[in-house]
Chain A
Amino acid sequence: MDTPIETIELGGVGLLRFLWRQLTSMRTALILLLLLGVAAIPGSLIPQRTQNPMKVRDYFIDDPSVASWMDRFSLFDVYGSAWFSAIYILLFISLIGCVLPRSFEHLRAVRALPPLTPKNLDRMELHQSWAGSGDELTAARAWFKQKHFRIREFEGAISAEKGYVRETGNLFFHLALILILVGVSVGALFGMKGEAIVNVGERFINIPTTYDSLSYGKLFNDASLAPFSLKIEDFQAKYDPLTNAPEDYTLRVSAIESPGSQAKSKVIKVNAPLSFGSTNIYLQANGYSPVVTVRDKNGAVVLQGPTPFLPQDANLTSIGAIKVPDSDPQIGFVSSFLPTASRDKVRGGISAFPEALDPKLLFSVWQGNLGLDRGIPQSVYRIDTSKMQQIGLHSLKVGETFVFSQGSITFDGFVPWVNLQVVRDPGKLYALLGGIVAILGLLASLFTRRRRIWIRVNQSSQVEVAGLAKNGAPGLDKEIAAFVTHLKKVEK
């Protein structure tokens, strides 16, 4: 495959041709392959924006100048960076430039007959010669046919070849890698991904505003969203009473595929998403939403309903913020929800078990300005208390009410929430197909031996046998020994 470096012709075409040869040479392919492996390393050691935005933010807070330098080299977005893309794009250009011509060449070779038997067989590997009976060619032909060799006869000699599958498999393997890349690209261009926290009992409609976070591929837009909607009917989580580890999550929904169609009852589990065409809906995380009623001094309801809280540990100790912007002054509750309330010397109130066996709502009450209208996006789980004043601190069990100077809060109960992840990836089937073909191609190429065996019988019945194993594949010695034994048996 390696082309010797030719003298560079002057002129653009010559230079281009030279570069192309260099790029599609095996040595370049090897270097690019190693480079791809090494280039993938930093992204696994440095936090990446796509997976761990919080940690990336910590880098910027700890040492902004180093972080911004790192950012200049895309070290927080390695796998989408220009330099990483450059490596794999060059590798794939090299691959195409290498594999396509080879495929045509191989197609021709498969159609052609094996080359003629060489004149001097005694120069070849595993050469043997003996005085035969003259019937060897017939016997050899039958043997080759039975073993599915491809044969060519010429003037008392047979060339037999086998193992074309090796090259075929190798080509399919490389072509399949291209198919995988196509699948990945299609997914990146025409796909979407979004997440939404939905309380049990609520409805999820697949429109942009329903999502907490949503990202589109370059060629995807709002109109491409699949028109389904779900009602979250029920969520059950089972935990091991000994280790507190989760054992099973079951989410029941009633699903409407498109407006006007019948609602169907469906189950979503962690390893079993719900699909609408190439859109899948996954159960990603779960937690609790305490349900409270907040009244003002006059007893009028100013807020009622569930607020999703964010789990902090495996026992679902959760934190959250209940914000009442419509009261005057504004009121906020900085809260924790403990599904199974317990106390810890260091951490204070924590949950001892993820199931809600003894639920408790802990909170401090703040009045003042919630800062919601300043246009800066705020975490829904936290309250900026810098412009507020604490006016109370309490904990409630289900059904209890706490009265403070500006009104009261009643802890009505709780509902579970689930985090749904909605993903559309129209390219994944190509990638899967590519993966399957790649494995089959590899098996074919790594487990077949390409080899030739020759036999010549001259006028005086002198028999000559020799062989050639491509890529130094082992086992030809045994095969030729079996061949010769067969011929000698026929002679007797």
Chain B
Amino acid sequence: MTHSSWAYVSNYLIYSAMTVYTLAFFAHAYETAWAVRSPAAEPTQGNLLTKTLDYSRTEKVARIATAFMILGFLLLFAGVVARGISAGRVPWGNMYEFSITGALAFCGAYLAALRKYDLRWLGLLVSIAVLLTLGTAITVLYRPSAPLVPALKSTWLVIHVSAAIISGGVFLLANTIAAAYLYLDSMEQKGERKAWAKRLPSLEVLDQLSYRLIAFVFPLWTFAVIAGAIWAEHAWGRYWGWDPKETWAFITWVAYAAYLHARVTVGWRGRKAAWLCLFAGSTFLFNYVYVNIWGTGKHTYSGL
């Protein structure tokens, strides 16, 4: 196959993935609605490692929804790979490619966490987020497949960017959970949880969950930043130059370090920790959106 036909295949796969995520979204929505219409007598609250929700009536739909999420992930994965083949390199050369890979990482983080924790209640949010990201990517950010500029031709691209993208996926998952925490917490402070929210995990569980995700990827993010510094040293002659992209990566790192500190040593839990988590996560997003598109500096690879 020629390069351009691989690019065509990639686009086709991305569109298919979007269709499947739409199906996943509807399945999750249906599952939620159904469970709310006939709520369990007692909200079930288990330990993190056991099931936290009552799926007794909706198990089948929930399984179908998860199956769609997995299928969407596979299609997206194939789409990203095909994009890489079409360009003859890793598919991380411009913002369109970062976005589809980022969506893949986000969904991957969700599915990986799903193996350990029952997170299916989050599927609704995850499928919307992935759909929005892919939709923006293919309509606004899309660029024809092209080779890399010389500065990006390095093994460090693979190492640094893959670490950064995976960290980003997990950070955003942790953020989604922290946002859910804050939302449910304010609901509980006003009184009881609403019917549909009764089946969601307890605040304690959400708090722990976002902490564990962050503690898990913080070393990876540290690695991504250091790998970036090593690469910058190879390409630009300095490992650190306070370029906007580097500065925001540093801010994200410091913010998550502060988050871990706050938890481990000063004992922040709950709301305070969730806000700090959202702050740290928004520095990551800001770096991705603002610095890539409007920022100046050496990291201008958005291709826009």
**A240/B226 contact (C-beta < 8 A), A29-B261, A30-B266 known:** no
**Residue contact A33 to B264, C-beta cutoff 8 Å:** no
In angstroms, how far is the closest chain A Cβ from the Cβ of B224?
10
Residue of A51, A242, A471 contacting most chain B CB atoms (<10 Å): A51
Contact bitstring A169-205, B, C-beta under 8 A = 1, else 0? 0000000000000001000000001000000000000
Contact bitstring B13-57, A, C-beta under 8 A = 1, else 0? 000000000000000000000000000000000001100000000
**Residue contact B215 to A439, C-beta cutoff 8 Å:** no
**Residue contact B48 to A474, C-beta cutoff 8 Å:** yes
Contact bitstring B253-266, A, C-beta under 8 A = 1, else 0? 01101100110111
Select A245's contact among B146, B235, B258, beta carbons within 8 Å: B146
**Residue contact A246 to B254, C-beta cutoff 8 Å:** no
**Residue contact A270 to B151, C-beta cutoff 8 Å:** yes
**Residue contact B254 to A431, C-beta cutoff 8 Å:** no
**Residue contact A282 to B150, C-beta cutoff 8 Å:** no
- Cα–Cα, bound, A198→B213 (Å): 51
Q: Is B296 an interface residue (CB 8 A)?
A: yes
**Residue contact A271 to B250, C-beta cutoff 8 Å:** no
Select B255's contact among A29, A37, A45, A248, beta carbons within 8 Å: A37
**A44/B258 contact (C-beta < 8 A), A247-B150, A282-B237, A474-B48 known:** no
Chain B residues with CB under 8 A of A245: 146-147, 149
Contact bitstring B190-223, A, C-beta under 8 A = 1, else 0? 0000000000000000000000000110110011
Q: Is B8 an interface residue (CB 8 A)?
A: no
Give the residue name and chain of the A residue nearest to B252 (CB).
Answer: A37
**A270/B266 contact (C-beta < 8 A), A33-B254, A33-B261, A442-B219 known:** no
Select B222's contact among A45, A280, A425, A442, beta carbons within 8 Å: A442
**Residue contact B266 to A2, C-beta cutoff 8 Å:** yes
**A44/B247 contact (C-beta < 8 A), A33-B254, A270-B235 known:** yes
**Residue contact B150 to A246, C-beta cutoff 8 Å:** yes
**Residue contact B258 to A34, C-beta cutoff 8 Å:** yes
Give the residue name and chain of the A residue nearest to B254 (CB).
Answer: A37
Q: Is B12 an interface residue (CB 8 A)?
A: no
Chain B residues with CB under 8 A of A61: none
**A431/B247 contact (C-beta < 8 A), A269-B150, A471-B264 known:** no
Contact bitstring A400-438, B, C-beta under 8 A = 1, else 0? 000000000000000000000101010010011001101
In angstroms, how far is the closest chain B Cβ from the Cβ of A248?
6
Q: Is B230 an interface residue (CB 8 A)?
A: yes
Contact bitstring A25-39, B, C-beta under 8 A = 1, else 0? 011011001101100
In angstroms, how far is the closest chain B Cβ from the Cβ of A46?
10
**A270/B257 contact (C-beta < 8 A), A26-B265, A442-B219 known:** no
Q: Is A1 an interface residue (CB 8 A)?
A: yes
Q: Mostly helix, strand, loop or mixed at chain B's interface? A: helix
**Residue contact B237 to A423, C-beta cutoff 8 Å:** yes
Q: Is B60 an interface residue (CB 8 A)?
A: no
The interface stretch among B121-129, B134-142, B238-246 is: B238-246
- Cα–Cα, bound, A26→B257 (Å): 13
In angstroms, how far is the closest chain A Cβ from the Cβ of B228?
11
Q: Is B131 an interface residue (CB 8 A)?
A: no
Give the residue name and chain of the A residue nearest to B243 (CB).
Answer: A51
**Residue contact A273 to B218, C-beta cutoff 8 Å:** no
Q: Is B229 an interface residue (CB 8 A)?
A: yes
Chain A residues with CB under 8 A of B247: 40-41, 43-44
- Cα–Cα, bound, A55→B233 (Å): 25
**Residue contact A247 to B147, C-beta cutoff 8 Å:** yes
**Residue contact A51 to B297, C-beta cutoff 8 Å:** yes
- Cα–Cα, bound, A43→B237 (Å): 21
Chain B residues with CB under 8 A of A428: 233, 239
**Residue contact A184 to B150, C-beta cutoff 8 Å:** no
Q: Is A213 an interface residue (CB 8 A)?
A: no
A residues 304-325 near B (Cβ < 8 Å) are none
**Residue contact B222 to A271, C-beta cutoff 8 Å:** no
**Residue contact B237 to A36, C-beta cutoff 8 Å:** no
Q: Is A284 an interface residue (CB 8 A)?
A: yes
Q: Is B154 an interface residue (CB 8 A)?
A: yes
**A446/B219 contact (C-beta < 8 A), A30-B266, A33-B261, A79-B242 known:** yes
Chain A residues with CB under 8 A of B295: 44
In angstroms, how far is the closest chain A Cβ from the Cβ of B290?
9
Chain A residues with CB under 8 A of B146: 240, 242-243, 245
In angstroms, how far is the closest chain B Cβ from the Cβ of A131?
29
Select B147's contact among A26, A45, A240, A438, beta carbons within 8 Å: A240
**A40/B296 contact (C-beta < 8 A), A30-B262, A439-B222, A442-B222 known:** no
**Residue contact A273 to B153, C-beta cutoff 8 Å:** no
- Cα–Cα, bound, A489→B229 (Å): 54
In angstroms, how far is the closest chain A Cβ from the Cβ of B5?
16
Chain A residues with CB under 8 A of B231: 271
Give the residue name and chain of the A residue nearest to B156 (CB).
Answer: A271
**Residue contact B242 to A30, C-beta cutoff 8 Å:** no
Chain B residues with CB under 8 A of A85: none
**Residue contact A26 to B266, C-beta cutoff 8 Å:** yes
Chain A residues with CB under 8 A of B240: 184
Give the residue name and chain of the B residue nearest to A282 (CB).
Answer: B237
A residues 331-381 near B (Cβ < 8 Å) are none
- Cα–Cα, bound, A438→B218 (Å): 12
A residues 242-288 near B (Cβ < 8 Å) are 242-243, 245-249, 269-273, 280, 282, 284
Q: Is A224 an interface residue (CB 8 A)?
A: no
Give the residue name and chain of the B residue nearest to A47 (CB).
Answer: B296
Contact bitstring A208-243, B, C-beta under 8 A = 1, else 0? 000000000000000000000000000000001011
Give the residue name and chain of the B residue nearest to A283 (CB).
Answer: B150
Q: Is B248 an interface residue (CB 8 A)?
A: yes
Contact bitstring B265-283, A, C-beta under 8 A = 1, else 0? 1100000000000000001
Chain B residues with CB under 8 A of A471: 264
In the A-B complex, list the 4 residue pairs whose CB atoms are closest, starting with the nearest.
A37-B254, A44-B247, A435-B226, A26-B265
Chain A residues with CB under 8 Å of chain B are 1-2, 26-27, 29-30, 33-34, 36-37, 40-41, 43-45, 47-48, 50-52, 55, 78-79, 184, 193, 240, 242-243, 245-249, 269-273, 280, 282, 284, 421, 423, 425, 428, 431-432, 435-436, 438-439, 442-443, 446, 471, 474
Q: Can you list 17 residue pairs at the A/B interface with Cβ under 8 Å?
A: A33-B261, A36-B254, A37-B255, A44-B244, A47-B296, A55-B296, A245-B149, A248-B153, A271-B151, A284-B237, A421-B236, A431-B229, A435-B229, A439-B223, A446-B215, A446-B216, A446-B219
